[in-house]
Amino acid sequence: LRYLTAGETHGPQLTAIIEGLPSNLQLDFEELNFQLLRRQKGHGRGRRMQIEKDTANIVGGVRHGRTTGAPVALVVANNDWKHWTSVMNIEPIEGSDEEKRRVHRPRPGHADLNGGLKYNLKDLRNVLERSSARETAARVAVGAVARQLLAAFGIKVAGQVIRIGEIEAPANNLPVDELIRLTEESPVRVVDKETEEKMTAYIDQIKAEGDSIGGIVECIVEGLPVGLGSHVQYDRKLDGRIAQAVVSINAFKGVEIGIGFEAGKIRGSQVHDEILYTEERGYHRATNRLGGFEGGMTNGEQIVVRGVMKPIPTLYKPLQSVDIDTREPFTAQVERSDACAVPAASVVMEHVVAWEVARAFLEKFGGDSMEEIRSNYDAYLEQIGRY
């Protein structure tokens, strides 16, 4: 199972191709678009989100609502494109730098300067158009398909915001369905109402000061069997793959599994989860401090992953940089940005995690049709039950 995305933030559309899906996966298109809508919401987003109404248009690999086993191609249109048809034209255009909206002033914290130097591009727009977090709309669309595959086997994915800047949400241990329902009602994707109020006021304050703010998000996956991923090779360890996927989300700087960095501060006896057995639950753990992983494999407990997002580097408050035409210093001016995209990033993280889990799921139970996967899955559960 693999995918690629293409497309620029102000281009006509984002495009994704998913290769390796089984046939006969029934797709719920409304559910797919609901996931895209979730990513667009959240307190702290900028004006662009009033322009976009993301929907996934499937243009290959699906017939009469079901996958055929062929690559699935999908497209998410950019409504903002109509304002950029000349600037982002595929054909050469005549006009001044101004008219082409050429970018020669790299923004600190963005891909601009590194990408310009690396690809030898003197118009940094060629970098920023692709490095923009707009691309995460395509990743959510792809992850939403993976999520439906997992849902067919009773696997659920939830997300919540744990921290925005100085404001931390109190820990909760809610059942996954409850967590999904409650976070959905919150503009900052937290359960606790008092925290929600503090966070929204805090984001407003940051925005009023022309600044931006990051945070920490958590993703939970429930309903997984033991043994997705493997201890035998570095690139088959599922926790490692999830870590890569999470840090690859725009602006993410770190990842934790279970208690994560806390594990470096306390003793082994306080970290490891004791093994229990009952007729009803089979083998399981007394606690889940290791976030569902031992030896790079799922252990049957919930996967718990956290990611940290830095503040969006596009600031109304200018930072010092150097013009690539003159090599003279300047202070960057910005027209449009999000003050905080942590709630949206929480949705993105759910989907990149869902993707990695689905990939490992298909490696374990792989088959060309949903029916074949189902029988492999059932046989494995039976084998585990007998163990």
Residue 139 touches ligand EPS, criterion: CB under 6 A: no
Q: Which listed range, 141-149, 273-281, 333-341, 378-386, lies at the site for ligand EPS (CB under 6 A)?
A: 333-341
DSSP assigned state of 105: S
Closer residue to ligand EPS (CB): 126 or 132 = 132
Select from 46-54, 141-149, 225-233, 374-382 the region that touches ligand EPS (CB under 6 A). Answer: 46-54
329: β partners? 322
- Decide: is 9 part of the binding site for ligand EPS (CB under 6 A): yes
CB of 46 to ligand EPS, least distance (A): 5
DSSP-H helix ranges across 281-327: none
**b/e map of 126-157 (b: 16 or more CB within 10 Å)?**
bbbbbbbbbbbbbbbbbbbbbbbbbebbebbb
Distance of CA 53 to the CA centre of its chain: 18
* Helical spans, DSSP H, in 21-132: 29-40, 48-51, 97-100, 112-119, 125-131
The annotation status of 186 as a binding-site residue, yes or no, is no
User: Taking contact as CB under 6 A, which single stretch among the options 143-151, 154-162, 214-222, 330-338 is the one that binds ligand EPS?
Assistant: 330-338
Shortest Å distance, C-beta 278 to ligand EPS: 45
Task: Kindly tell me which residue out of 52, 168, 192, 211 binds ligand EPS, with binding defined by CB under 6 A.
Answer: 52
Report whether 313 belongs to an annotated binding site.
Answer: yes
Q: In angstroms, what is the minimal distance from the CB of 314 to ligand EPS?
A: 5
CB of 312 to ligand EPS, least distance (A): 7
Amino acid at 376: N
Q: What are phi and psi of 356, to 5 degrees?
A: -65, -35
Asked whether residue 45 is marked as a ligand-binding residue, the answer is yes
Distance CA 176, CA 304 (A): 12
Give per-residue burial for 299-332: e unless 16+ CB within 10 Å, then b.
bbbbbbbbbbbebbbbbbeeeebeebeeeeeeeb
Between 132 and 230, name the residue whose CB sits nearer to ligand EPS. 132
Give the footprint of ligand EPS on residues 99-138 (CB under 6 A). Answer: 132-134, 137
Is residue 18 within 8 Å of 70, Cβ to Cβ? Answer: no
- Tell me if 57 is assigned to a ligand binding site: no
Contact indicator for 39, 52 with CB cutoff of 8 Å: no
Choose the stretch contacting ligand EPS; rule: CB under 6 A; options: 295-303, 331-339, 363-371, 375-383. Answer: 331-339
Residue type present at position 363? E
User: Which amino acid, 40?
Assistant: Q
Number of residues that bind ligand EPS (CB under 6 A): 14
Answer yes or no: is 259 a known binding residue: no
Residue nearest to ligand EPS (CB): 48
**Quick check: 314 binds ligand EPS (CB under 6 A)?**
yes
Judged by CB under 6 A, the residue of 48, 147, 289, 306 near ligand EPS is: 48
Separation CA 256–CA 197 (nearest Å): 26
Return the closest-CA partner of residue 151 out of 143, 161, 139: 143
Q: Which residues bind ligand EPS (CB under 6 A)?
A: 9, 46, 48-49, 52, 80, 132-134, 137, 314, 336-338
